[in-house]
């Protein structure tokens, strides 16, 4: 088991909160959602629009808010970083992984980020290296580590596969 | 370590400030929120009382503590008020800090009552983040506390029950505010209950109380490993009874906050008075914090 890999609880309404905001890069919020939860979904907002909305919105909020982020790992960790910067902490932010198994990949050679990578072997858009996407997730970079796959044996490139998690 | 009483200041009939100095050298730096546990002589035994240091980490040549005479006193605060003299030497453990400021906070909200002012006096000396402090006092102590509180619009002294609107204060804090509560048990519980009801997460509620070691019905404790049978008197804690028998038991805060004094339980049902064990752990009936907890059954048997 890879210890860098965050473990996500299934979405659950947190009754200890006084007010609730849910953001998702998926079209639909969870079924049977509590009606007290304000929601922003991909049906009305792009992920970028949600990420732009959050900082000024959170600056106006008071203690007692619960923030739920549901979506790709890149999206939920971007939301988490904004929440931390706004002063939210343990017990106030809940992250749930949902949607297609895509990853944000950080090229360890040229530091370029590639979003929406769907396979274990991918070309870095920055330096062109053929990267193996490791299961190593960096919370600092909010991305998975990508390392040149044929660094030791040039030309030996395994067949790309989809992610299993 | 040994500390000499350098100065005694009467702040009000029931409240005194003690200035303590080292016999030689400098004192260890103690972070804001730290406390000292003193050995205080008593008629029949030594009392171990914890007092917050009010000076902050810069205080290396002297420590200051403020002591309220507790009514009824089990002996510690009464001795300090009635018998302690300038020049007396007290034995104390190295300061411990179980009540530190949260460094990631965007704002600190301090709510104190009575002698609970003391850790926040140290906080106020090191504060670099915006803060708001409400202190509640009985009318007869208000002049003493007014003289101690730092000046500024962020500090409010309440001398009547009606002027502190807890729901308004707790309900309007920006995200990133950390709450610190220090006062009598009822005050601490009232504030925390209100905070939770308004959605404050546990990670942002910090509290300290040294008042919970108060007595209760006497009971018997059996120490299984040494085969000893000890009587815990009404005005004595379980930890004190063990120490009175000449046995060194683990402890740090003596206030049910740190968990250092947890001992395994073999038989009997404790009356848990600590802030450490979860409801599940209490239900498991496997251990207790001996500094504050007592017994619901006539006897307790400890694996110690």
Checking if the pLDDT of B48 tops 90, the result is no
pLDDT at position A79 is 97
A80 or B244, which is more confident? A80
User: Domain boundary at A50, A73, A97, which?
Assistant: A97
Together in a domain, B181 and B113: yes
Is B102 inside any structural domain? no
Residue B123 Cα, gap to closest chain A Cα (Å): 20
User: Domain boundary at B145, B180, B208, which?
Assistant: B208
The whole-angstrom separation of Cα B114 and Cα B129 is 24
- The answer to whether the CB atoms of A87 and B175 lie below 8 A apart is yes
Is A133 inside any structural domain? yes
Is A7 inside any structural domain? no
Give the start-end residues of each E strand in chain A.
19-24, 37-40, 65-71, 93-97, 103-107, 113-117, 121-123, 130-138, 143-148
Nearest residue of chain B to residue A90 (CA atoms) = B203
pLDDT at position A2 is 63
Together in a domain, A85 and A108: no
User: Domain boundary at A97, A125, A145, which?
Assistant: A97
pLDDT at position B267 is 95
Together in a domain, A93 and A114: no
Q: What 8-state DSSP symbol labels residue A119?
A: B
Is B19 inside any structural domain? yes
Q: Between A and B, how many residue pairs show a Cβ–Cβ distance under 8 A?
A: 58
Together in a domain, B161 and B230: no
Residue B179 Cα, gap to closest chain A Cα (Å): 10
pLDDT at position B20 is 97
Checking if the pLDDT of B210 tops 80, the result is no
**Of A56-60, B101-105, B255-259, highest mean pLDDT:** A56-60
Is B142 inside any structural domain? yes
- Assign B58 a pLDDT band (cuts: 50, 70, 90): confident
The whole-angstrom separation of Cα B96 and Cα B26 is 17
Do you know the residue count of chain A?
165
The CATH code of the domain that includes B225 is: 3.10.20.30
Cis peptide before B252 (omega within 30 of 0): no
- The answer to whether the CB atoms of B175 and A58 lie below 8 A apart is yes
Choose the closest CB to B204 out of A19, A62, A89: A89
- The answer to whether the CB atoms of A87 and B177 lie below 8 A apart is yes
Check if A37 contacts B (Cβ < 8 Å): no
Together in a domain, A130 and A79: no
Checking if the pLDDT of B114 tops 70, the result is yes
Together in a domain, B29 and B84: yes
Checking if the pLDDT of B279 tops 90, the result is no
Choose the closest CB to A89 out of B174, B199, B203: B203
pLDDT at position A15 is 95
B22, β-bridge pairs = B3
Token pair belonging to B98: 């179980």
pLDDT at position B170 is 98
- The answer to whether the CB atoms of A63 and B203 lie below 8 A apart is no
Checking if the pLDDT of B213 tops 70, the result is no
- Assign B74 a pLDDT band (cuts: 50, 70, 90): low
Structural domains of chain B, count: 3
- Assign B98 a pLDDT band (cuts: 50, 70, 90): confident
Between positions 85 and 104 of B, the ones with CB within 8 A of A are: 104
Checking if the pLDDT of B43 tops 70, the result is yes
Is B34 inside any structural domain? yes
Is B214 inside any structural domain? no
Does residue A19 contact residue B199 with C-beta atoms inside 8 Å?
yes
Token pair belonging to A137: 């997730």
The CATH code of the domain that includes A91 is: 3.40.50
Is B100 inside any structural domain? no
Choose the closest CB to A90 out of B171, B196, B201: B201
Between positions 49 and 68 of A, the ones with CB within 8 A of B are: 58-59, 61-66
Together in a domain, A110 and A165: yes
The whole-angstrom separation of Cα B113 and Cα B137 is 6
User: Domain boundary at B92, B126, B141, which?
Assistant: B92
Least confident of B28-37, B139-148, B249-258: B249-258
Check if A10 contacts B (Cβ < 8 Å): no
Together in a domain, A155 and A85: no
pLDDT at position B258 is 86
pLDDT at position B214 is 62
Choose the closest CB to B176 out of A66, A87, A91: A87
Is A27 inside any structural domain? yes
- The answer to whether the CB atoms of A87 and B203 lie below 8 A apart is no
- Assign B62 a pLDDT band (cuts: 50, 70, 90): very high
Is B99 inside any structural domain? no
CB atoms within 10 A of CB A151: 12
Is A141 inside any structural domain? yes
Structural domains of chain A, count: 2
Mean pLDDT of the B164-180 span: 96
Between positions 156 and 185 of B, the ones with CB within 8 A of A are: 170-177
Burial (CB < 10 A; 0-12, 13-18, 19+), residue A152, is exposed
User: Domain boundary at A69, A97, A125, which?
Assistant: A97
The residue segments making up the domain with residue A66 are 19-97
Residue A36 Cα, gap to closest chain B Cα (Å): 14
Is A5 inside any structural domain? no
pLDDT at position B159 is 92
- The C-alpha angle B47, B48, B50, rounded to 5 degrees, equals 135
The whole-angstrom separation of Cα B283 and Cα B250 is 23
Q: Which residues contact B205 (CB under 8 A, 6 or more apart)?
A: B179, B181, B192, B195, B196
pLDDT at position B211 is 55
Is A29 inside any structural domain? yes
Together in a domain, B44 and B124: no
- Assign B162 a pLDDT band (cuts: 50, 70, 90): confident
Mean pLDDT of the B72-95 span: 88
Together in a domain, B53 and B21: yes
The CATH code of the domain that includes B84 is: 2.40.30.10
The whole-angstrom separation of Cα A10 and Cα B24 is 60
Q: What are phi and psi of B101, to 5 degrees?
A: -70, 145
The whole-angstrom separation of Cα A73 and Cα A142 is 8
Please report, in tens digits, the pLDDT of each residue of chain A (165 residues total): 566 778 888 899 999 999 999 999 999 999 888 889 999 999 999 999 999 999 999 999 999 999 999 999 999 999 999 999 999 998 999 999 999 999 999 999 999 999 999 999 999 999 999 999 999 999 889 999 999 999 888 888 999 999 988
Nearest residue of chain A to residue B168 (CA atoms) = A62
Nearest residue of chain A to residue B107 (CA atoms) = A87
A93 or B78, which is more confident? A93
Give the start-end residues of each E strand in chain B.
2-12, 15-22, 35-40, 47-52, 63-68, 89-92, 107-113, 131-136, 155-158, 177-182, 205-208, 219-223, 228-232, 262-267, 270-271, 287-289, 294-295, 299-302
The residue segments making up the domain with residue B264 are 219-302
pLDDT at position A155 is 86
- Assign B290 a pLDDT band (cuts: 50, 70, 90): very high
The whole-angstrom separation of Cα A64 and Cα A36 is 13
Does residue B179 contact residue A62 with C-beta atoms inside 8 Å?
no
The whole-angstrom separation of Cα A4 and Cα B65 is 46
In the structure, how many helices (H) and strands (E) does chain B have? 7, 18
Is B117 inside any structural domain? yes
B96 or A132, which is more confident? A132
Is A117 inside any structural domain? yes
Largest CA distance in chain B: 59
Token pair belonging to B227: 């085969």
Is A93 inside any structural domain? yes
Together in a domain, A123 and A165: yes
B100 or A7, which is more confident? B100
The whole-angstrom separation of Cα B163 and Cα B136 is 9
Together in a domain, A116 and A163: yes
Least confident of A128-137, B151-160, B201-210: B201-210
């Amino acid at each position: 088991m890879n210890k860098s890999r965050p473990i996500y609880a299934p979405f659950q309404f947190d009754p200890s909160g006084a007010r609730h905001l849910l953001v998702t890069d998926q079209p639909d919020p969870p079924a049977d959602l509590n009606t007290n939860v304000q929601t922003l979904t991909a049906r009305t907002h792009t992920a970028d629009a949600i990420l732009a909305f959050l900082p000024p919105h959170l600056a106006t909020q008071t203690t007692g808010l619960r923030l739920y982020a549901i979506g790709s790992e890149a999206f939920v960790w971007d939301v988490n970083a904004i929440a931390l910067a706004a002063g939210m902490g343990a017990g106030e932010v809940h992250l749930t992984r949902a949607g297609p198994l895509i990853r944000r990949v950080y090229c360890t050679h040229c530091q370029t980020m590639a979003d929406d990578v769907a396979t274990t072997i991918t070309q870095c858009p920055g330096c062109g290296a053929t990267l193996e996407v490791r299961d190593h997730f960096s919370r600092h970079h909010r991305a998975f580590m990508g390392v040149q796959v044929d660094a030791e044996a040039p030309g030996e490139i395994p067949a790309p596969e989809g992610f299993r998690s | 370590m040994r500390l000499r009483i350098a100065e005694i200041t009467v702040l009000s009939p029931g409240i005194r400030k003690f200035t303590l100095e080292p016999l030689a050298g400098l004192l260890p730096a103690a972070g804001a929120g730290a406390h000292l546990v003193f050995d205080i002589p008593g008629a029949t035994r030594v009392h171990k009382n914890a007092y917050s240091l009010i000076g902050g980490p810069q205080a290396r040549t002297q420590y200051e503590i403020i002591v309220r005479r507790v009514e009824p006193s089990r002996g510690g605060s009464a001795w300090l008020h009635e018998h302690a003299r300038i020049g007396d030497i007290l034995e104390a453990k190295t300061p411990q800090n179980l009540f530190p400021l949260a460094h990631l906070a965007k704002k600190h909200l301090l709510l104190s009552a009575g002698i609970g002012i003391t850790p926040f006096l140290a906080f106020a000396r090191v504060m670099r983040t915006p803060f708001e402090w409400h202190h509640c006092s009985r009318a007869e102590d208000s002049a003493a506390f007014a003289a101690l509180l730092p000046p500024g619009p962020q500090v409010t002294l309440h001398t009547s029950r009606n002027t502190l609107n807890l729901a308004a204060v707790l309900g309007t804090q920006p995200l990133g505010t950390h709450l610190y509560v220090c006062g009598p048990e009822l005050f601490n519980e009232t504030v925390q209950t209100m905070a939770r009801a308004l959605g404050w997460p546990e990670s942002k509620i910090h509290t300290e109380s040294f008042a919970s070691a108060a007595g209760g019905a006497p009971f018997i404790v059996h120490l299984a490993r040494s085969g000893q049978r000890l009587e815990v008197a009404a005005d004595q804690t379980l930890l004190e009874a063990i120490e009175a028998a000449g046995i060194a038991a683990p402890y740090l805060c003596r206030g049910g906050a740190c968990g250092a004094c947890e001992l395994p339980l073999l038989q009997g049902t404790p009356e848990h008075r600590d802030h450490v064990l979860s409801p599940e752990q209490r239900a498991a009936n496997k251990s207790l914090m001996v500094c504050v907890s007592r017994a619901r059954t006539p006897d307790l048997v400890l694996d110690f």
